[in-house]
Amino acid sequence: MFGCLVILVNYCWICSLQLKVSFSTGTDWDGTIGEGTFAKVKFARNSETQQPVALKILDKAKILKHKIAEQIKREVATMKLIKHPNVVRLYEVMASKTKIFIVLEFVTGGELFDKIVNHGRMREDEARKYFQQLINAVDYCHSRGVYHRDLKPENLLLDASGNLKVSDFGLSALSQQVKDDGLLHTTCGTPNYVAPEVLNDHGYDGATADLWSCGVILFVLLAGYLPFDDSNLMNLYNKISSAEFTYPPWISFNARKLITQILNPNPTTRITIPEILEDEWFKKDYKPPVFDEKEDANLDDVEAVFKGSEEYLVTEKKEEQPATMNAFELISMSKGLNLGNLFEGEQEFKRETRFTSRSPANEIINKIEEAAKPLGFDVHKKNYKMRLENIKAGRKGNLNVATEVFQVAPSLHMVEVRKAKGDTLEFHKFYKNLSTSLEDVIWKTEEDMQEMK
C-alpha cells in the first residue's frame, strides 16, 4: 500500500519509541515530530495518494545492540492487529539496509497530557467523552487478545476533530504471552498508573490491569492531578496497593462511584468493562464506535522486515542543505494561523520552541554550539541538525535537546529547539539561557527593538 513512499529526511540520531506530534494541524512539513532513545518520527506522504503519515524510523544496529528486536516486532505486530477509530493505525512496515520504517497514522491534535497541563482539569462531560472512547478502544484491544500495559495521558493522542487515539504499544502483550497459570508476569508500565497486582509480582490479568490504568486516567481528567503520587517509590507503591487517595469536592457522586469501583485494589472484584458500559455516569451521551473491519491483518511484511527480506528494502534519499519551508507550511505550524504563537521566545509548558534568524545556516549552527558548551552540553552535529546532551543528570535523567534549521526564504531561517529527553522545566530553563547567548542571531522586529528600549 505504501511501498512507493518517498523518504525525504536526514537520518541523524535515532531516538524514541514514542509517537509525539508537535503541531495541532497537519502540514506538508518534512521535519521531525517526535524523538527519544531508539527512534525518530518524521512527517511523510504517500507519493501516489498524498496521504500524510507519521514515519517512525528505527536504527537496526541500536535495536540489535540493546536486544529489543523482539519487543519492537511485538509492538508492530500488535498494532497491525488493531483497526479501531480510537487506536492509532499502523499501515505498513518497511526497511533499508540500516533502518526500519514503520508507517503510522498521522495524528495532529497532540497528547491528551498536554491538554491537561495547559488547561487543567476538565468538565465532566468532556472527560466522559474521552473516557468513553478510551474504554471502547481498550475493550476492542482486549477482544483481540492485546493488553496495552502502559496506558497514561501521554500515550493518548487527539486527532484534528478532538477524538482520542491510543498509541505506543511498546509494552503491550499478546494473549500468547500468558503463562500456564493464565496470567502475565512482566512488571512494566508507569508507576503512578500501574495496578497493584502488577507490583506484587504474583502474576496479573492484562485486562483488569489495563482497566485500573483507565481509572487513574479518569481521575486525572476530572481532578487535574494524580490520585497516587509520592516522591518516595515505596510510599507510592503502598498508596497504590491500598488504593489510598481522596477526591476533590468538585467530582460528582456518580463519577466517584465509578472511579472507586475501577480503583479497587482487588482485581477479582474490580468492575469489568461490560459493567462499566452499563454504568449510569458512563452511559450519559454515549455513542458506540462505528467502523468497518474489511480485512484481516497481514503480518507478512513484519516477518519479512525483521528477517531482512530484500523485498521490503527501500532506498533513503538524504538532504545536504536545510529543509525548505514555504509560507503555507510555516503558517500551518502556528495555532489559529497566528504567527505570534510560532515565534514566541519561550512557550510555557511546550516541549519545543522556535525562533527566526537572518544569519546564514552554518553561522546559526556554530553559534548554538558555542552557546551550549558553556552550559554543560555535549554537541553532536550532522548537516543542519544538532543534538545537545547535558553532561549532568537532572530530575528525569540527562536533558537532551534536538535542534534543526529550516530555510523559510533565502535570507531567513527558522530554528526549532526541541526537548528530546529529560525534564520539561529544565528544558525551558536551558532555552532561556541559550536564547540570551543568541541575542545577536535571533531576528528582532522593529516592534521588538522598541520594547527593549
Amino acid at 209: A
Who contacts 292 (Cβ-Cβ below 8 Å, separation ≥6)?
A: none
User: What is each CA distance from 40 to 219, 259, 420, 452, in whole angstroms?
Assistant: 32, 36, 10, 39
SS3 173: strand
DSSP string of 3-69, one letter each residue? TT------------S------SS--S--SEEEE-SSEEEEEEE-TTT--EEEEEEEEHHHHHHTT-H
Name the binding residues for ATP: 56
Name the binding residues: 56
DSSP string of 192-257, one letter each residue? GG--HHHHTTS-B-HHHHHHHHHHHHHHHHHHSS-SS--SSHHHHHHHHHTT-----TTS-HHHHH
- Beta bridge partners of residue 377, listed in sequence order: 390
SS3 183: coil
| CB burial string 15-52: b at 16+ within 10 A, e below | bbbbbbbbbbebbebbbbbbbbbbbbbbbbbbeeeebb
Active site residues: 150
